[in-house]
Structure 1
Amino acid sequence: MSNLLRRILLLRSPSSVFSHGFSESPLKSLTYFSVSSEIVSSPKSASLASNAVRLENNRKDVIALLANHGFSESQISALAKRFPPIFSAKPEKTLLPKLLFFQSKGLSSPEIVRLVCAFPRVLTRSLDKRLIPSFEYIQAVLGSEKTLAAIKRSADILFWDFQISVGPNIEILKQIGVPDSNILKYLHYQPRVFLTNSIRFKETVERVTEMGFNPRGLLFVIAVFALRSMTKSTWDKKVEVYRNWGLSEEEIHLAFRRNPWCMIASEDKINGAMDFYVNKMGCDSSFAARRPVLLQLSLKKRILPRGYVYQVLLSKGLIKKTENICLLFESPEKRFIEKYINPHKEQIPGLLELYEQKLMDSRR
């Protein structure tokens, strides 16, 4: 391979745009123009070189466009690594109309940057055939404000043909009596749960029905999401984790019916929470089946800091071991401080500060 062709291949590499920053052209670093005599020596080489120059100029135009719309140098570099096709797209014809479209729908410049950085393929999707129809369908279902919130949360929903992929699944839920309000609530918060083959979605809905969930309750839709978010093998592994803590099959299903989130938690989180409640708090393992909401709470940010306060109060004889543990962990922050910390300020000076320190440690 000639030296010229090696240079041209380097020019085709998206990373070459960023290897020297934006202030220095990669063409200079490759001493491209120093080989003009070699270029003209072959029509084929001249054609390749011309294409390389066009590609490089296009990349520069894309970089300028992104920079003008609020993208930082590091963000543009990250895009080059994650999704190089953006830098081959025509900036004015392909990229700019999509940036302006999101702007016209109420997304701020920082929000558009976050959206593109999270889902760069959105800039290469057809505006007329995919983005606009998807946006309009979601907006017709959710309304403008919730549509923006859903897109900010998961912009890849714009990649789908909602009328074909989501519409049938919404109808499946409606046919068994799921209220529109519950469907819309979950479509807003977890739109991806509906982006699946309608046959598999119906099978999941039927399984949730067989488990005894009431279609009119919000837990029904949450259970559908829980089952849709994991494979059967993942479900079986989590069932085994609970079994290892002494829960029966019936207790595990009871916990899931009461709070499906207990099966969405990771195996590590389940083990961590169960270890704390059983070994540190002295609770019976079936306690989790009766109050599975406790397994969904953050171990570091809620369970451990409040558990520390409980142990201190218990050691001082200020509360009994039979104290309502559910209230201790489930109470909102203000209520927890009013009930478990403020009444004991005199007996245990600095208890609030110690608790706040535990919270700070959990955020590190």
Structure 2
Amino acid sequence: MFKFICRTLHHERSVARASPIHNLCFIQIQPFSSSLKPTQNPPSQHSFAVTYLIDSCGFSPEKALSASKYVKFETPENPDSVIAFFKHHGFTETQISTIIRHHPRFLLSDPEKSLLPKLEFLKSKGVSSTDVARIVSASSHLLRRSLEKQIIPSFNLFNKLLRSEEKTLAAIKSRCADLLFDHQTHVTPNIEILRKTSVPNANIMLLLTNYPRVFKTGSDRFALIVKELEKMGFNPSRVNFVSALRALRQMTKSTWGKKVEIYKKWGWTDDEILVAFKKQPECMMGSEEKIVGVMDFLVNKMGLESSFVARRPILLTLSLEKRIVPRCSVYQVLESKGLIETNGNSLATLLVSSEKWFIEKVVDRYKEEAPEILKLYKEKLDRAK
């Protein structure tokens, strides 16, 4: 039986529970606090700012009233100039509305001074106007960051790590602006922790470019999670080490405990849960509703043993609506006609295979004996969409 040491973020002693799987250490995700402070006297619901936010920016009356506590203006000149600025640089009305709803104080800014240099920097690196608009609208907090102190140094850091400006641009386009945060506070110290733990550079880059928010963690907490993973028996040289790091980083201890209890209700032991997590860390990243839904379908509707699923946790990472239900519908038809081997291994292979393999080896292969399966499969996919 594996034993884990749970340390709270403030190093407080906690009472040990009977089940060691509960004693994992987690990042406690703290809500962001706004740096904006409301004015002493909030404006009335009929103020000019409220009306403008509703009519020109797509705010609901409630959101407009709330935003007007932080943003006061009595004439449309400056807000109009900001909206015109975004339109001039290729932003759609929807993108502009999204940006303003997240950061209404942009309406009070001088766009040529505070916003334009950041857009021009991205364009100077070869990012198209369309991609700039997409990146900024998806991560509008980028426009609040310092160009000289955060954006440029972060870009240069990634350029050095990835050894290619092309790869750096691809990462920024893929993950939007989450990469361009304060690298001195977050990225550099945590990369060093992983390197000292013997995590290969390729795996560090994989985590950094695909899931940069994992690094938005204090170094002490980050190091604590890394140590817990080592105690759990994860090999730092394997890819599943950084996958597990991502999983523990995004969950609170309470959320983990609820998911453990769900698996236990299906008969899983502590050891089975740990082995499943080590084999497929993503099996603990789905919502509680998804875990229950997938287990219910596979066990109660498809007749698989719960322990069989525990040994193949990859099944819990698949989409119930888009993958499991459509393919199981085809499987049931083929099973009823005696065209396919009816056992758990056969079903699991069918579920985890690529779309190309499934179409070629299953749908096309049996199109004469079971011509209805193609239509059935498409109907299930369309319903999922």
Tell me whether the two structures share a fold, i.e. TM-score over 0.5: yes
Equivalent pair of 2:186/2:218 in contact (CA under 8 Å): yes
Q: What's 2:141 paired with?
A: 121
Asked if 1:348 corresponds to 2:385, the answer is: no
Classify the secondary structure of the residue corresponding to 2:268: coil
Q: What's 1:87 paired with?
A: 107
- Whichever structure has more helix as a proportion of its residues is 1
Q: Structure 1: how far apart are the matches of 2:73 and 2:325?
A: 59
Asked if 1:75 corresponds to 2:95, the answer is: yes
Q: Structure 1: how far apart are the matches of 2:56 and 2:338?
A: 67
Classify the secondary structure of the residue corresponding to 1:213: coil
Equivalent pair of 2:178/2:212 in contact (CA under 8 Å): no
Q: Structure 1: how far apart are the matches of 2:199 and 2:99?
A: 41
Q: Structure 2: how far apart are the matches of 1:15 and 1:109?
A: 31
What is the Cα deviation at residue 279 of structure 1?
Answer: 0.9
- Which residue of 144, 147, 151 maps to 2:168? 147
Q: What's 1:35 paired with?
A: none
Amino acid corresponding to residue 363 of structure 2 in structure 1: I
* Structure-to-structure mapping, 1:186-265, within 5 angstroms: 186-265=207-286
Amino acid corresponding to residue 130 of structure 2 in structure 1: P
Q: Structure 1: how far apart are the matches of 2:283 and 2:330?
A: 25
Q: Structure 1: how far apart are the matches of 2:249 and 2:369?
A: 50
Q: Structure 2: how far apart are the matches of 1:144 and 1:264?
A: 32
* Structure-to-structure mapping, 1:30-109, within 5 angstroms: 56-109=76-129
What is the Cα deviation at residue 94 of structure 1?
Answer: 1.2
> Comparing both chains, which one has the higher relative contact order based on Cα–Cα distances under 8 Å and sequence gaps of 6 or more?
2
Asked if 1:171 corresponds to 2:192, the answer is: yes
Amino acid corresponding to residue 281 of structure 1 in structure 2: M
Equivalent pair of 1:18/1:77 in contact (CA under 8 Å): no
Classify the secondary structure of the residue corresponding to 1:238: helix
What is the Cα deviation at residue 211 of structure 1?
Answer: 0.9
Q: What's 1:291 paired with?
A: 312
Q: Structure 2: how far apart are the matches of 1:89 and 1:102?
A: 20
Asked if 1:329 corresponds to 2:365, the answer is: no
Q: What's 2:130 paired with?
A: 110
Equivalent pair of 2:315/2:351 in contact (CA under 8 Å): yes
What is the Cα deviation at residue 280 of structure 1?
Answer: 1.4
What is the Cα deviation at residue 325 of structure 1?
Answer: 2.0
Q: Structure 2: how far apart are the matches of 1:266 and 1:305?
A: 21
Q: Aligned in 2, Cα 1:52/1:263: closer, same or farther, shift over 3 Å?
A: closer
The more displaced of 222-231 and 134-143 is 134-143
Q: Structure 2: how far apart are the matches of 1:360 and 1:177?
A: 46
Q: Structure 2: how far apart are the matches of 1:195 and 1:292?
A: 28
Amino acid corresponding to residue 19 of structure 1 in structure 2: D
Larger Rg: 1
Classify the secondary structure of the residue corresponding to 1:344: coil
- Which residue of 15, 34, 52 maps to 1:16? 52
Q: Aligned in 2, Cα 1:52/1:313: closer, same or farther, shift over 3 Å?
A: closer
Q: Aligned in 2, Cα 1:203/1:254: closer, same or farther, shift over 3 Å?
A: same
What is the Cα deviation at residue 21 of structure 1?
Answer: 8.5
What is the Cα deviation at residue 100 of structure 1?
Answer: 0.9
For these two proteins, the number of residue pairs brought into alignment is 326
Q: What's 1:27 paired with?
A: none
Classify the secondary structure of the residue corresponding to 1:19: helix
Equivalent pair of 1:255/1:288 in contact (CA under 8 Å): no
Q: Structure 2: how far apart are the matches of 1:172 and 1:202?
A: 7
What is the Cα deviation at residue 203 of structure 1?
Answer: 0.5
Equivalent pair of 2:150/2:183 in contact (CA under 8 Å): no
Q: What's 2:66 paired with?
A: none
Q: Structure 2: how far apart are the matches of 1:251 and 1:18?
A: 53
Asked if 1:358 corresponds to 2:380, the answer is: yes
Instruction: After superposition, give the CA deviation of every residue in 1:32-66 in whole Å (9 maximum; x if it has no partner).
Output: xxxxxxxxxxxxxxxxxxx967x632222212211
Q: Structure 1: how far apart are the matches of 2:155 and 2:219?
A: 21
The more displaced of 180-189 and 77-86 is 77-86
Percent of aligned pairs with the same residue? 49
CA-based RMSD = 2.3
Amino acid corresponding to residue 338 of structure 2 in structure 1: G
What is the Cα deviation at residue 267 of structure 1?
Answer: 0.9
What is the Cα deviation at residue 154 of structure 1?
Answer: 4.2
What is the Cα deviation at residue 14 of structure 1?
Answer: 6.5
What is the Cα deviation at residue 151 of structure 1?
Answer: 2.7
Instruction: After superposition, give the CA deviation of every residue in 1:149-208 in whole Å (9 maximum; x if it has no partner).
Output: 3333141332x3202321111111111211111111111111111121000001100111
Classify the secondary structure of the residue corresponding to 1:162: coil
What is the Cα deviation at residue 15 of structure 1?
Answer: 4.9
Normalising by the residue count of structure 2, what TM-score does the alignment of the two structures yield? 0.79
User: Which structure 1 residue ranges, 5 or more long, are not aligned?
Assistant: 1-5, 23-50
Normalising by the residue count of structure 1, what TM-score does the alignment of the two structures yield? 0.83
Classify the secondary structure of the residue corresponding to 2:168: helix
